[in-house]
Amino acid sequence: MEILYDLEEKLLRMQQLLQAGKAIKAKRLAEELLEEEPGLAEAHMTLGTIYENHLQDFARAATCYALAVRFDESIAIAWYALIRMQYYLSDYVALEHTCERALVHVHVYKFIVYQFHALAQEEQLHFKRAIRLFELAQLYAMQDGDLDTAKKHIQRVKVKMDIKRD
């Protein structure tokens, strides 16, 4: 049995296990790390990834991502993962609050945040607000593909607005 002594070594091993497809072993190591260091954002993030991608438990994944953000707000990918889970779970109130919090961080790609916020508004049939958020996403798009995506979203929502008026 391998004995890992320091935190960095355990974090590295946890990531290696996950990449090798040994999600259950990675989960055990993440849980062990959290017993030692409850505020370890990387371990919460890894648990979220396992719950999302390997166990399809999206509610638990969202909880883990929320804890990762709580303990280290500088991890941009944790914000994206949390927003994505809240969107998939149709937890629009939490998603709106998370988006507002995420947008103040310099490490966060605002296009992604605005896009998910806009998609949530669209699903709730709040088309004018969705269009405005997609426009803000365009403003922050740093890649041509993202700009094109936002334009297509706006076109789709405008069609839905016309249908809703009829």
Average pLDDT over residues 22-36: 93
Average pLDDT over residues 39-44: 95
Does some domain include residue 70? yes
pTM score: 0.89
Q: Do 74 and 124 lie in a common domain? A: no
Largest distance between two CA atoms of the chain: 68
Residue 84 confidence class, pLDDT cut points 50, 70, 90: very high
Rounded Cα distance, 13 and 64, in Å: 19
Share of the chain above pLDDT 70, in %: 96
Structural domain for 15, as ranges = 1-87
- Residue 8 is predicted with a pLDDT of 85
Does some domain include residue 12? yes
pLDDT digits (tens, 9 = 90+) for 91-144: 999 999 999 999 999 889 999 999 999 999 999 999 999 999 999 999 999 998
- Is 90 exceeded by the pLDDT of residue 156? yes
Does some domain include residue 151? yes
Residue 7 confidence class, pLDDT cut points 50, 70, 90: confident
Residue 166 confidence class, pLDDT cut points 50, 70, 90: low
Does some domain include residue 100? no
Using CA atoms, how far residue 34 sits from 7, 29, 62, 71, in Å, is 11, 9, 17, 12
How many separate domains does the chain show?
Answer: 2
CATH number at residue 32: 1.25.40.10
Residue bearing tokens 């303990």: 71
Number of H helices and E strands in the chain, helices first, is 9, 0
Residue 5 confidence class, pLDDT cut points 50, 70, 90: low
Q: Do 80 and 151 lie in a common domain? A: no
pLDDT digits (tens, 9 = 90+) for 143-155: 989 999 999 999 9
Burial of 72 (0-12, 13-18, 19+ CB in 10 A): middle
- Is 80 exceeded by the pLDDT of residue 82? yes
Using CA atoms, how far residue 151 sits from 33, 85, 155, 156, in Å, is 44, 24, 6, 9
Average pLDDT over residues 59-77: 97
Q: Do 116 and 82 lie in a common domain? A: no
Q: Do 82 and 113 lie in a common domain? A: no
Among 52, 87, 122, where does a domain finish? 87
- Is 70 exceeded by the pLDDT of residue 4? no
Q: Do 2 and 78 lie in a common domain? A: yes
Half-sphere exposure of 58 (CA within 13 A, CB side): 11
Rounded Cα distance, 15 and 26, in Å: 7
